[in-house]
Amino acid sequence: MIPMAPTSRRCARKALPGFAAPMPLGLLRKAARAGGTALLVLAGLTAWPLDDADVFMATPALAQHMEARPPERLETRRAPLMIETDSGIVTLDVEIADTPALRRRGLMFRQRLPRGRGMLLLWPRPSMAALWMKNTLIPLDMVFIDAGGRIVHIHENAQPGDLTPVAPGRPVIAVLEIPAGEARRLGLRTGLRVSLPRTSR
């Protein structure tokens, strides 16, 4: 993903360096349907949780939305992420994506993601994030978090390869991506507090 400056609720910014003009989300959706690759932030999401042995494989229908060859994998740091739920504190082991290159890559091309693991897309300042599922093989839940560390939106069961933009409609500073079904299993809801790590880049 690439950092986006805050915009109005009806606008998002191009996800490429050097483009600063806000674009209506309607245009982003139109571009996504046309197969555009530069207009949206990348992420991934679905309807069943993944155990260590679970692997989601790309189908022929999904392959048309993927690049022919996965790019080189980028190294990320890992850290514990604590969430205060109604039944107690939940701790997840997450990869931190806090640079433009890491956010842009997200969980693309990953074929598995165990329970208790995830990726935290972290911006240095609140941004109007919009995400889609191009090149993403793993079904996920997306948890949008504001600058105060509160969950403000949860998008469950996003489908691999889906080019529909996912946006919370308000500025956020982080998005947690976890295996689909985990948000409900862990008891996550809007309003819960998340202990966010600081960016290191």
- pTM higher than 0.85: no
CA distance 87 to 198: 26
* Domain of residue 135, CATH code: 2.60.120.1140
Helices (H) and strands (E) in the chain, counts: 4, 11
46 located within any domain: yes
Task: For residues 68 and 49, give the distance between their C-alpha atoms in angstroms, rounded to a whole number.
Answer: 27
Query: Which one of 25-29, 67-71, 103-107, 171-175 scores highest in mean pLDDT?
Result: 171-175
The domain total for the chain is 1
The alpha-helical segments, DSSP class H, found in 52-138 are 60-63, 100-105
Percent of all residues in the chain with a pLDDT value above 90, rounded to a whole number? 58
Rounded CA separation 149/30 (Å): 32
Does 19 fall in a domain?
A: no
Output the six-digit token pair for 122: 């972290």
pLDDT at 98 over 80: yes
- Token duo for residue 36: 């555009």
How many Å from the N-terminal Cα to the C-terminal Cα in the chain?
14
**Mean confidence (pLDDT) of the chain:** 74
Residue 91 lies in a domain: yes
Q: List, in sequence order, every residue forming a beta bridge with 94; answer none if it has no partner.
A: 79, 118
**Domain annotation covers residue 23:** no
Q: 131 falls in which pLDDT band (50, 70, 90)?
A: very high
Nearest to 173 by CA among 198, 136, 141: 198
What pLDDT is stored for residue 58 in this prediction? 43
Domain that holds residue 166: 41-62+76-195
